[in-house]
Structure 1
């Protein structure tokens, strides 16, 4: 074989060999790359979990959850004896931090190590949450903290979705407005500095839905009456999504505070205001 043909033949073989090696290297690297997911298990009854969430949990290697022991008991058949760590409450976000600053910093460092080591080792990490993680969710801070890991959010049924279903009517069907405002009523608190004060939000007379973290019902009603008629319908949905406990209390701005007392309402409730309820 002429010399130039031998060189050409060797070059082709070298190219093929390099291509194969790179392909195998790519496969190996893909196999070693783990994932991070924020997964909602839904709200209320177990069958409110989506199929996508179920699949993500079954395929996970490492878990984090806000209440690890309760979560393991509730999802024992899915989690089994896999590692389950404390995700904290608003650990990497702005929501209510529990414990001292030193305790929080220590838990942050520990959590970073757990997640980054697991993902680097090819493990699939799942942070378990409830409802819609992006609506007043305590774990959304993980998405920014670990943005370089390209975390995936697996959506879930929110208490908002479940409560809408419990009301059995279209919440955008009001006569004065076809919009819906979701709020935590922080604008009703004395000294609140944000632009979204409750009276400002109420000016459009849109349907309003209150996520009720620390909400003072009497004060909210008082401020709503400055913009809505006193006979505007209200509804309080208790334990949305829980078939054995779900309950709807209906009234008006005039009657609701005599129908219920703040200290008698469970943590799991949403409040609706708007003429769509008529």
Structure 2
């Protein structure tokens, strides 16, 4: 008897949906699960305008012809906001096409969001789904404002989405109220709470765009909050807290009191080098804004690098000295071009100008034999570089891959120590195109609070493409050479890092900001940013003297 071969039934590919909470605004509040799903998604359906920036930060610029599809789930093609039902149809439609669909929702998908309605529609369509909780603005925004919702003396909290039919008498005895969508009605709400029996002196705090560096909090009382919120121009989105817990903000405010909170800081850097600087600035509460001033490009004539790399492989050198992360990158790219790897460095001594460069070398699987223990610069490297000894050193030659605009001090110093030096152009630094007109205007008129210069070339190129920063703008530089260049261009240097290190530079700027804030508080003045006022006196320099 012949057995028939079973035929596979045709199947329709059905994708799964992940309802992902993106938190209240700060991208660092994303869960690890949310991060992984966003990175692996085939379709991302957004809700809020800020989701576009989140996607760019995690996935890079979206290529319209690429594999990732980004769909606006907040508004329809006619520009009108979508209803919950319409949003659900959008999610189901894309899920039925197959692939990994991630629906982004602000805050938490199941707390004051359309997640439940959309998930029901997906379930009805027989599509598998999951829910990834997010940090809700209900607790996160007050926490960033320094207001705990509960204490040992206040254990009860009520969260109210404000509307026309709220019976405020129900909340007279509730110790803490968290009000959502209350900005436009806060005057009526306050009057009704007072009429129902709450004291007119009950503390109130209203925080807009919480957890972001644009966060703003107004503290008042029920009888005054409407006028105070109008005076401060508080606009949605905002979270309002009513209750005695608001008084704790005076001692627990931690976010808005960061030394650079809300400072708009200009970063004239290359894109490849801006990530750690921007992260550190955000840590101190600043709003970093990059203006590319330098473009790193290969040398016009690659033959010099080709010859040096061949010489390295053939054992021509005793040392190779890296004076920048870009130099490490340039040599590594040349190695990959030739099909070489780190084994070619066998028997070669490696020097790095500083810890950052040493870390880049380590990322290649190599270890630097010499890193300055003191000043991390060419001068610091020379101080610790050994003299050539014909008995101990079989070869007297150093390979020095550098930028085309590098100074000759290191070469001259090595020659004085008895070494022969192949000073090779590994990469070129060229001036970038001028920034947009609004950015140029902001630089010249003092709308930036600070500028951080990480090299002399960033000073020259920024002034060349955008003009000099306004006198009110705080100027921070990475070291003495950069400070000298800044002063030669007519800039007053306010902050200088103790050592030429990006993180130390930002920390020095933060110290300047903290001292400035403390002086304003001690004088009984309002805490302002440098862009808010135009002081005439010369500022005290913070950092190395």
**Same fold? TM cut 0.5:** yes
2:172 counterpart residue number: 203
Structure 1 distance, partners of 2:148, 2:230, is 27
Residue 35 in structure 1 maps to residue 20 in structure 2: no
How does 1:1-278 map onto structure 2 within 5 Å? 34-66=15-47, 71-79=51-59, 80-81=62-63, 82-88=68-74, 98=81, 111-118=91-98, 123-147=99-123, 148-173=126-151, 175=153, 177-186=154-163, 189=164, 192=165, 197-200=167-170, 202-212=171-181, 215-225=184-194, 226-242=196-212, 244-261=213-230, 264-278=233-247
Residues 183 and 235 of structure 2 are in contact (CA less than 8 Å); yes or no, is this contact kept in structure 1? no
Residues 48 and 241 of structure 1 are in contact (CA less than 8 Å); yes or no, is this contact kept in structure 2? no
Residues 172 and 178 of structure 1 are in contact (CA less than 8 Å); yes or no, is this contact kept in structure 2? yes
Question: Relative to structure 1, is the Cα distance of residues 213 and 57 closer, same or farther in structure 2, using a 3 angstrom cutoff?
Answer: farther
Structure 2 distance, partners of 1:203, 1:89, is 38
Q: CA RMSD in A?
A: 3.7
Offset of residue 228 of structure 1? 1.0
Structure 1 distance, partners of 2:183, 2:26, is 24
Offset of residue 45 of structure 1? 2.5
Question: Relative to structure 1, is the Cα distance of residues 77 and 98 closer, same or farther in structure 2, using a 3 angstrom cutoff?
Answer: closer
Structure 1 distance, partners of 2:94, 2:55, is 21
Could you report, residue by residue, the CA deviation over 1:207-226 in whole angstroms, capped at 9, with x for unpaired residues? Answer: 11011167411100011112
Looking at CA atoms only, which structure, 1 or 2, has the larger radius of gyration? 2
Structure 2 distance, partners of 1:59, 1:204, is 48
Structure 2 distance, partners of 1:67, 1:42, is 11
TM-score between both structures, scaled by the size of structure 2: 0.38
Offset of residue 236 of structure 1? 0.8
Structure 2 distance, partners of 1:178, 1:211, is 20
> The residue matched to 1:75 in structure 2 has which SS?
helix
TM-score between both structures, scaled by the size of structure 1: 0.70
Give 4+ residue runs of structure 1 displaced > 4 Å after superposition.
Answer: 107-111
Structure 1 distance, partners of 2:89, 2:202, is 50
> The residue matched to 1:258 in structure 2 has which SS?
helix
Could you report, residue by residue, the CA deviation over 1:83-127 in whole angstroms, capped at 9, with x for unpaired residues? Answer: 11232369xxxxxx837x9xx86x765653322222xxxx11111
Give 5+ residue unaligned stretches, structure 2. 248-545
The structure with higher relative contact order (CA 8 Å, sep 6+) is: 1
Residues 73 and 90 of structure 2 are in contact (CA less than 8 Å); yes or no, is this contact kept in structure 1? no
1:10 counterpart residue number: none
Considering fraction of residues, name the structure with more helix.
Answer: 1
> The residue matched to 2:97 in structure 1 has which SS?
helix
Residues 65 and 84 of structure 1 are in contact (CA less than 8 Å); yes or no, is this contact kept in structure 2? yes
